[in-house]
Amino acid sequence: MAGCAALLGAVAAWAILALVYGMQSAGPAVRLTLPGSLGQIGLPAVAGSADASRPLVVIDAGHGGHDPGASGRFGGKEKAVTLALALAMRNALLEKGGVRVALTRADDRFLVLEERAGIARRLGADAFVSIHADASEAEEASGATIYTLSDRGSDAIADRLALRENRADTVNGVALNDKSDVVSSILVDLARRQMRARSQRFSALVLREGQGRLRFHSDPEREAAFIVLKSLDLPSLLIEAGYISNSGDARDLNDPAWRAAFGKSIASAIQIYLARQEPAAIAPCSEAAASAAARWSLWLLHEMAC
């Protein structure tokens, strides 16, 4: 014990001397300029029809680069599985025709979460699908799961929109910069509700088209506050294609034939959804409707308080 104390004391004394000497002899500080956070990454290529009026689907392969995602004892990394599935979806959509397709990443690169949905929005996408593979400590957990945005934390979406864009943004084509706070809040809330309903219809089609082709989790449609789903004007899904920690799912996820079947199933649901998609319910002339809704909301709050 005495030897350990003496050693620790010597180390501490050396550290103090080194610090004092460094403070006395240090030259000018070296400052590094870090890249700013406001820059935008380049947009990916759009494949398919040259007709810009055709619907655009953006497919996001989860993880990538230094972020491998989930892994299981049956081999394979999530980032490689998701890219292979995204490519299978793209190929199936292009084979069916009538749509344009872009991938957030077509190789092993890292993207921050905000960039993924941001790419889709900048491209003016009509649908966004993020592909993942789940993992669980329980090996029996298996099957695909489809996620849409939950209501939890949704008020913060509107708050972030106002803070980030300083109310100089648009929601479903409606400019917010010239609207009152109440009207802007109503427009954002209407857009959020509308997109959530569209995403849920999209999810139902994925489940329907996958019956008999894919194996789904016992609770296949869920809601969560994933960042990549938090778009106010873009129908979005996050699909966990299976459990990389399950032997059967891992075998499927690494099977090119199964991946092709997965791609065709999701592509079928996407095309049906796009064919059914109605025009945006919030038109540029809807400020009067939003103002009326705001007055009704204020009246209701007054009545509840009385």
pLDDT of residue 10 exceeding 50 = no
User: Domain boundaries in the chain?
Assistant: 47-153+195-280
Residues in the chain: 306
Global pTM exceeds 0.85: no
C-alpha span between 291 and 306 (Å, rounded): 23
**Residues 6 or more apart in contact with residue 114 via CB below 8 angstroms:** 227
C-alpha span between 157 and 65 (Å, rounded): 28
pLDDT at residue 180 in the model: 58
Q: Tens digits of per-residue pLDDT, 153-180? A: 434 533 443 333 333 344 445 554 555 5
C-alpha span between 201 and 235 (Å, rounded): 9
Q: Compute the C-alpha angle 64/65/67, nearest 5°.
A: 65
Tally the C-alpha atoms within 13 A of residue 126's C-alpha that lie toward its C-beta: 20
Largest CA distance in the chain: 82
Instruction: Kindly give the pairing relationship between strand 236-243 and strand 127-134.
Output: parallel
pLDDT at residue 227 in the model: 82
C-alpha span between 237 and 200 (Å, rounded): 9
Distance between first and last Cα of the chain: 74
Q: Tens digits of per-residue pLDDT, 58-83? A: 999 999 999 999 887 777 899 999 99
Q: Compute the C-alpha angle 128/131/136, nearest 5°.
A: 140
pLDDT band (50, 70, 90) for residue 259: very high
Residue with tokens 């599985």: 81
- CA dihedral 158→160→164→170, nearest 10 degrees, is -20
C-alpha span between 84 and 80 (Å, rounded): 6
Q: Tens digits of per-residue pLDDT, 262-297? A: 999 999 999 999 999 755 433 444 445 445 444 444
CATH number of 47-153+195-280: 3.40.630.40
